[in-house]
Structure 1
Amino acid sequence: MYYVNQEQIAVRLDAIPALTDALRELANGWNGSLMQGLAQERALHLAIEIVTDVGSYLIDGFLMRDASSYEDIIEITGAEGAYPADMTETLTELVKLRRPLVQEYYSWPRSELHPYTARLAELLPTFASAVDMYLKKELQ
């Protein structure tokens, strides 16, 4: 029997609607201001943390092989079918943004709208639904 921390997964997935609202608002009203740039950075960072946190809980709970990197979290959970295979590439590219956002923030192009800002507003709800369906299937 597996112990999957469904409560912590749900807490993270429950943050997605507010985050997608913010991402849509940023993408639709982008003017390149400092405040929008900083908000975009935080929204992208939160998206990364949600995806990797959920992935880590799935890996731990279902005793999948250990991940050695953020990209590995995506590869492992994608290979296990936690979300559609066509999401793996986008999620991998998303988590690759973590380093520039967190460690190289001083050179992040804040005045530019990142293409993932609008894209994630559509992708994250699909990710959440897929993870929910995966949990239901695997825990029945």
Structure 2
Amino acid sequence: MYYINREQLEQLLEFLPVISDACEQLKDNWNGTLLDGLAQERILHLAIESVTDVGSLLIDAFMMRDASSYEDIVEILLGENVFAREIGEPLIELVKLRKPLVQEYMKLDRDGLHPLIGDLPAILKEFAPSVRQFVRKELGE
């Protein structure tokens, strides 16, 4: 029998609209300022951490193979059909930003709006219901 901390999972999934709203606000009000660039980095970082935290919960709960990297978390979920490839591919691109955001932040170009900022609201809107549906299916609900 599988066990997943559904309260923790729901907290993570319920935070995704906050990230989506921040993406939309930043996109609508982008001026290319340093503050905009830093806000963009934080939004992307929160999106990465939220997606990989959800992924880690699912991997542990449903005894999927161990992930070797942040990208691998998303690839495992994609392979387990947690969500469609149309969601998985941009999430892999998102997660690839983690290293530059947390380790190479002093070198980042902060002048332009990252394309994922515009795409994330739609991706995250599909991600949460896909995860919930997968959990229900796996638990036989």
The two structures have a TM-score, normalised by structure 1, of: 0.96
- Structure 2: 5+ residue runs without aligned partners? none
Q: Which structure 1 residue ranges, 4+ long, deviate > 6 Å from structure 2? A: none
Asked whether the 8 Å contact 1:79–1:85 carries over to 2, the reply is no
- The number of residue pairs the alignment matches comes to 140
TM alignment of 1:1-140, pairs within 5 A: 1-139=1-139, 140=141
Please state whether the residue corresponding to 1:14 is helix, strand or coil.
helix
Asked whether the 8 Å contact 2:9–2:54 carries over to 1, the reply is yes
Distance 1:89 1:117 in 2: 15
Instruction: State the one-letter code of the partner of 1:119.
Output: D
Instruction: State the one-letter code of the partner of 1:32.
Output: G
Distance 1:68 1:5 in 2: 22
Asked whether the 8 Å contact 1:23–1:118 carries over to 2, the reply is yes
Asked whether the 8 Å contact 1:45–1:98 carries over to 2, the reply is yes
Instruction: State the one-letter code of the partner of 2:123.
Output: L
Asked whether the 8 Å contact 1:13–1:128 carries over to 2, the reply is yes
Per the TM alignment, residue 15 of structure 1 is displaced from its structure 2 partner at its CA by 0.6
Distance 2:70 2:119 in 1: 20
Instruction: State the one-letter code of the partner of 2:71.
Output: E
Per the TM alignment, residue 86 of structure 1 is displaced from its structure 2 partner at its CA by 2.1
Distance 1:6 1:110 in 2: 37
The two structures have a TM-score, normalised by structure 2, of: 0.96
- Structure 1: 5+ residue runs without aligned partners? none
Per the TM alignment, residue 85 of structure 1 is displaced from its structure 2 partner at its CA by 2.2
Please state whether the residue corresponding to 2:66 is helix, strand or coil.
coil
Please state whether the residue corresponding to 2:43 is helix, strand or coil.
helix
String of CA shifts for 1:89-108, please: whole Å, max 9, x gaps. Answer: 11111100000000000011
Instruction: State the one-letter code of the partner of 2:11.
Output: V
% same residue: 54
Distance 2:108 2:6 in 1: 34
